[in-house]
Chains A and B, each alone.
Chain A
Amino acid sequence: AQSVTQLGSHVSVSEGALVLLRCNYSSSVPPYLFWYVQYPNQGLQLLLKYTTGATLVKGINGFEAEFKKSETSFHLTKPSAHMSDAAEYFCAVSGPARQLTFGSGTQLTVLP
């Protein structure tokens, strides 16, 4: 079985500051990991995903995430926050039944 824990349901950063959104997972099989972003009243958009190979994954809008097997983590980062990054972010892990298990989400607020 898979599970995802996102630490911090709300994160606030100043514009231009580092964004760090935390995600820890558990999986009974080698995990495939995803980060999605959701703007208000919209569907989810894929930011990036890790399957195999390089553990540092680059995504859209300047985001990246690093898969750390020893820490069972897949934290999302961006060096410099922009006002347009304000949204809710979901980490997800894919299991053997082709399903995604999502974390409960982190609401990112960017302060001017």
Chain B
Amino acid sequence: SQTIHQWPATLVQPVGSPLSLECTVEGTSNPNLYWYRQAAGRGLQLLFYSVGIGQISSEVPQNLSASRPQDRQFILSSKKLLLSDSGFYLCAWSRDRGTADTQYFGPGTRLTVL
């Protein structure tokens, strides 16, 4: 069976510090991978998605970047965090079956920027 891991689970960082969040998927190959942010009281905002190694699409301009160095690894980064980067970050994966495919979510990382 497939599993998706995210770490760390929680993170408190000062403004201006760097960020690296990691997501890994087990039990499948060549997944589509996604990063979402969920701000308090709001829905999910798609930040990045990837259909393969080194292939990253950004949905909104922001202070964040993503990389996919390996098939089942997806990393969310920032060089300098802003207060507005606080939120709950969710990684998800799907099989390459087109638009009807289900996205499976990881447990999330709670980021607080102070």
Determine if B98 and A98 form an interchain contact, defined as CB atoms under 8 angstroms apart: yes
Binary interface profile of A, 39-53, with partner B (CB < 8 Å = 1, else 0)? 001111110010110
Render B30-69 as a binary contact track against A, CB cut-off 8 A, 1 for contact.
0010100000011110100101000000010000000000
Tell me whether A96 and B105 are in contact in the complex, defined as CB-CB below 8 angstroms, given that A44-B90, A102-B43, A104-B42 are known contacts: no
For residue A33, which residue of chain B has the nearest CB?
B100
Shortest A94–chain B CB gap in Å is 4
B43: which of A34, A96, A103 is its contact (CB, 8 Å)? A103
A51 to B32 CA separation, bound complex (whole angstroms): 19
Interface size on A, residues (CB 8 A): 27
- In the complex the two chains form, is A46's CB within 8 Å of B106's CB? no
Most B CB within 10 A of own CB, among A29, A36, A99: A99
B102 within 8 A of A: yes
Q: Give a binary string over A87-101; 1 marks a CB under 8 Å from any B CB, 0 the rest.
A: 000100011111111
B98 contacts across to A, CB distance below 8 A: 98
- On whether A44 and B100 interact (CB within 8 A), knowing A98-B32, A99-B49, A104-B42, the answer reads no
Residues of A whose CB lies within 8 Å of any CB of B are 9, 29, 32, 34, 36, 41-46, 49, 51-52, 90, 94-105
